[in-house]
Amino acid sequence: MSGLAEQVVALGVIALAQLPQPQDLQASQASGDPDSIHVLVNRQNPLEPVDYSPDDLAEVGVRTSEPEPVYLREEAAEAAEKLFEEASDDGVSLAATSGYRSFESQARLYSARYAEHGVEPTDEFAARPGYSEHQTGLAVDVISIDNPECILGECFHETPEFDWLEDGADDFGFVIRYPEGMEDITGFAYEPWHLRYVGTETAAEVAERDLTLEEYWREPAAPEYDDPEPDPEHLRR
């Protein structure tokens, strides 16, 4: 190959390297920063620090299933209020059951079940402290409040409320975080009631492509924790 040809090839390689890569063309990438709305939290990615708490929590002005208010990070709270308002205008009756949970409250929740049932049933039911999306302040659980047969959420996926969310939650920046049949990727059983805020651009792309966040962000699946037992220092007895 002549020197001129080698230069042309080299310039071509450089030009290709400078082209946008597929992952650069999407709305967001996974973040390890707990303050980012794109933080990835799963069984392989705990929050750092593990006892992280957001500093911009705001009460969500929506109907709740409990007397205690629900809190989310400010941006997510505003989006949730708009979502609930639009749902109500469309005749859909939602209520929030859980939002932000502190490290301590998640530890109490996990520890109580762990003491009674052991590690495997507890891991199926609840995230370990420091591994819960609720601790980010970006996740909210909802129910069909006016449907007494589904008040606890077990058949939420069969309600008009779920149909409405499946079609439109992304318009407000939320995705259904744990889709059906994706347990080997997300590490969690199907939770049609668990909404995660990621912003409208990311949510629209996730919904359009019908992906989990792990798949959308091209991150490894996270079906299992590295450690078979939870950190004993994180348990509350």
Residue 191 is among the residues annotated as catalytic for this protein: yes
Tell me the pLDDT tens digit for each residue of 148-201: 677 656 789 989 999 999 999 999 999 999 999 999 999 999 999 999 999 999
Q: How many percent of the chain have pLDDT more than 70?
A: 88
Which candidate in 133, 161, 191, 205 is catalytic?
Answer: 191
First to last CA, the chain: 73
Sequence ranges of the domains in the chain: 28-234
The whole-angstrom separation of Cα 178 and Cα 85 is 24
Total-model pTM: 0.89
Tell me the pLDDT tens digit for each residue of 106-165: 999 999 999 999 999 999 889 999 999 999 999 999 998 887 677 656 789 989 999 999
The whole-angstrom separation of Cα 205 and Cα 209 is 6
Assign a CATH topology to domain 28-234.
Muramoyl-pentapeptide Carboxypeptidase; domain 2 (3.30.1380)
- Report which of residues 3 and 94 the model is more confident about: 94
